[in-house]
């Protein structure tokens, strides 16, 4: 989207790769955090800002599937066929977010 001042706005999403810290307190599940927002770039490419979508908390993605006691190491996302996908570096499982 292009604003009236010429700035460009992009929808963005970020996801965590917590490595060993992804295990939940109960030790039975693994967690990754997900957040969406907007990235705004000035027409001169001299200013950038991020505005996160209003949510009470980050979105938690949980799984009980692990490999070697680790899981939910989600470090990359792609859009494929209008779906937001991420892959667990540890287990190789592909998730639709």
Binding residues: 75-76
**By C-alpha distance, which of 75, 73, 93, 95 is closest to 85?**
95
**Tens-digit pLDDT profile for residues 19-69:** 989 999 999 999 999 999 999 999 999 999 999 998 777 789 999 999 999
Count the domains in the chain: 1
Residue 39 lies in a domain: yes
Residue 61 lies in a domain: yes
Binding residues for Ca(2+): 75-76
Full domain range(s) for residue 84? 8-96
CA distance 85 to 34: 12
Residue 1 lies in a domain: no
Supply φ then ψ for residue 42, to 5 degrees. -65, 160
Asked if the model's pLDDT at residue 75 lies above 90, the reply is no
Q: What is the pLDDT of residue 55?
A: 78
pTM score, two decimals? Answer: 0.79
């Amino acid at each position: 989207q292009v604003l009236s001042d010429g700035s460009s706005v992009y929808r963005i999403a970020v996801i965590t790769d917590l490595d060993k810290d992804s295990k939940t307190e109960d030790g039975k599940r693994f967690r990754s955090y997900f957040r969406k927002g907007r990235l705004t770039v000035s027409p001169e490419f001299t200013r950038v800002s991020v505005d996160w979508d209003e949510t009470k908390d980050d979105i938690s993605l949980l799984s009980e599937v692990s490999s070697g006691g680790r899981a939910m190491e989600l470090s990359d996302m792609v859009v494929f066929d209008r779906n937001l996908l991420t892959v667990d570096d540890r287990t190789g499982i592909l998730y639709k977010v």
